[in-house]
Structure 1
């Protein structure tokens, strides 16, 4: 084997090893997480079916229609919502009001007929559920 051929093979081997070590340290790019639809602490409980899951213990749940039906959201204790029209499901459907609630937290919430906590205040007592049309709510 000639010196020229040895240098050529050494160069090829060096290029292969460099490529192997370079690729070994890289990972495939992960897709970015989907945009968060709702503020932290607000989770979609049910999106469209008439009777979805019940409200889990320790959460405040709000329902699109009376009698705890159709779209609903579960909120961690202490989360306030100044305007329910900002809540979204996966289809980014806005809601202009909610008509029933279930408070499975130890906190007392207050609901209001208008956005921005405006209007007569209605108490959402701990451990209670009821039909009530409201457009904003917060911890009292």
Structure 2
């Protein structure tokens, strides 16, 4: 894929990040715990009506998921990238996450290392 995400977060409705990944080109990136709490609050206040946040040099796209449990797939890319292309990538990531974890995510007990292999898979494919 020609489009490369700069950062990716998959967070639950309460703001806990299941995983975060970033391009090696961007350095430190955004703190995933602070960002996921912020995004969860924004989404809850906006009642899931925000699907993008655009800034000067980058934009954040949000894909909400309602079932089997509510969570968000959020990606950051450069502003020049097409919204439809970003949304398509995030939907693919959502589908991959659901395929891998939909049955067991409801019983997940909070161990973030549980998602490490999936994060590595995403980094290879999308970054």
TM-score scaled to structure 1, two decimals?
Answer: 0.24
Which one has the bigger strand percentage? Answer: 1
TM-score scaled to structure 2, two decimals?
Answer: 0.25
Structure ranking higher on relative contact order (CA contacts 8 Å, 6+ apart): 2
